[in-house]
Chain A
Amino acid sequence: MRSNARSGFTMLEVALSITLLAIVTVKISGAISSATDVAEEDAAQVTLETQARRVLRQIGFAVMGSHPGSLVPDITRPNSTSDLRFQVSLGVEDGEVVWSEPEMVAMEELQQQIYWSDNPEAADERRVIWTNLVAPFLEGELPNGLDDNGNGLIDEKGLSFTIDRNSVDMKLTLERVRDDGTVVHSTVETVVTCRNTINGWGTAER
């Protein structure tokens, strides 16, 4: 009997234990929940950033092989464009440099897409979607005729190009709306210089 009595708990002990357990569980659950939220947000951010960097690198390497004279439109700060046409060098044939058909990297606003296009606006145009998370405007920018985000550009789109001599400055914002309605952004930017700067572009084969 003595042993039975010693092995039991008083109601107070049980109530106290349950209360403490409940408090700890709630706290831990809360911590886990918020940590999971943070993790999800981080994961979304990581995915978005990785995607943004890859797309921008892809655009950069594509434009790098072009001739600066082939860049259309030739647009400089504070204006920018979200559609850039260019022609890259394909090699040399019969003593002449051969240039590609016009290519274009552009933003499709409605679909929130960035696509690469071969021979744009032609009957045989081919498009490849490079990402579909592009924001309508660059992070912090509003369509109000002002430079809201202080980057020197006015009303720049989620994908924006500006040209400075042989260089192309490119900026990109990807965004994703989470289940809870919050929006995750990732903005990246880079500059590439066109490498094919041979003379006589105006007379080159197009």
Chain B
Amino acid sequence: MAENEDRLRGVFGPTTPDGVAERLRKSNMGAALFGRPPEPVLIGRYQLVRLLGEGGMGAVFEATHEAGGPPVAIKLVRISSRGADARLLREGKALRKLSHPNLVEVLDVGRCDEGVYIAMSLVRGKTLRDWGSPLRPPDEVIPMIIAIAEGLFAAHEHGVIHRDIKPDNILVDQAGHPRVIDFGLVKAMKGSAVEDESTFAERLTATGTMMGSVGYTAPELLLAGAVGPAADQFSLAVTAWELLFGVSPFKGKTADGVALAIVSGRVRALTSQSRAADHCEAALRKALARAPESRHPSMRAFAAALSGESSANGGSWFTRLLDRR
């Protein structure tokens, strides 16, 4: 116990976590207790307003720029491996060139004492996961997936692959429009080569949701093969499947079991009471193919396949979507 006593004394004692999130909370609490403005907590040229959420990779804050303007979201990313900060800055600068109504706009990227920050448009809404619970009818889910696919298609056209598509990385704004977030973080945090599996594990375990992340991960990414836009298609198909049918397309009680089902290409059979039309299920199964070359040739092709039923009705969803562009 003597050794543990030393450890126990060392854990936060007498110090306290003094990260940005703690300083902001203290500042806001002081303001509430004493009826005065909060002491500014700054990241770069942004003043933090409140903490929106915390996760394995870092924290997200609502903030305002010192020059004024609408509130923004600041993601503060903890840097855990050498070189990750430089990679993240490079990725962030590339993401600033993306502009699409279904992608959250990256406004600024920079370094600070605690890591790297990414300033984005603030989306007030909920995650796609929350939006999809309880289950929504297919005629709400399919247009949502098509819109997301269009956003990802635009990113792919700019050479950017997300690599971590899942319901938690898609926000639905108050008007009901989906906005994809957290582009590029995975690649930047992983390193320059997909083959580096140890950093892949760091990502999974850093998010604290190893099981959840594995379930959306394309087999080529699990097996450290070459990764292209088809990996995002796979992940979006898993997302769509869950939103439509309420279960993952891959059965498994453990991360190993799910990973095995994914790399084996064993997609769950559906009951006769499938909620979606046959063409939707077929489109999803193709997007879930084990081999990337067996999937739809692009996100746009995937979206077109999903909307196949409405093509028979004059292409209502998809045609309207394309006509808007």
Q: Judge: A and B partners, yes or no.
A: no
By a beta-carbon cutoff of 8 Å, the part of chain A in contact with chain B is none
